[in-house]
């Protein structure tokens, strides 16, 4: 669902696509970094590094960290 008129969405898309692939990639990296920082700030203080990793993965991806990727 969106409340953005189609004409405006198209203008935004055109401006985004006018950027180089490198610029678009870096925008995505910065957005992910910002989302990660917000997610980290929302987690309780004092978690162990392993628990922080598990909780961050859960917050970002909405599912538990797969066991094969779990820190030992």
pLDDT band at residue 68 under the 50/70/90 scheme: confident
Q: What is the pLDDT of residues 9-19, one digit of tens each?
A: 999 999 999 99
Question: How confident is the model at residue 71, as a pLDDT?
Answer: 55
Q: What are the pLDDT digits (tens) for 25-66?
A: 999 999 999 999 999 999 999 999 999 999 999 999 999 998
- pLDDT of 1 over the 90 cut: no
- Taking the CA atoms of residue 58, residue 59, residue 63 and residue 65 in that order, the dihedral angle to the nearest 10 degrees is -20
Query: Are 64 and 54 in contact, with CB atoms under 8 Å apart?
Result: yes
Sign of CA dihedral 17, 21, 24, 28: positive
Q: Is the pTM of this model over 0.95?
A: no
Token pair for residue 43?
């987690």
């Amino acid at each position: 669902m969106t409340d953005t008129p189609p004409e405006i969405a198209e203008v935004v898309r055109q401006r985004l696509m006018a950027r180089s692939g490198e610029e678009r990639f870096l925008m995505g990296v910065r957005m992910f970094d910002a989302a990660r920082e917000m997610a980290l700030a929302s987690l309780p203080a004092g978690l162990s590094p392993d628990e922080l990793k598990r909780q961050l993965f859960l917050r970002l991806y909405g599912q538990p960290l797969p066991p094969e990727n779990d820190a030992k």
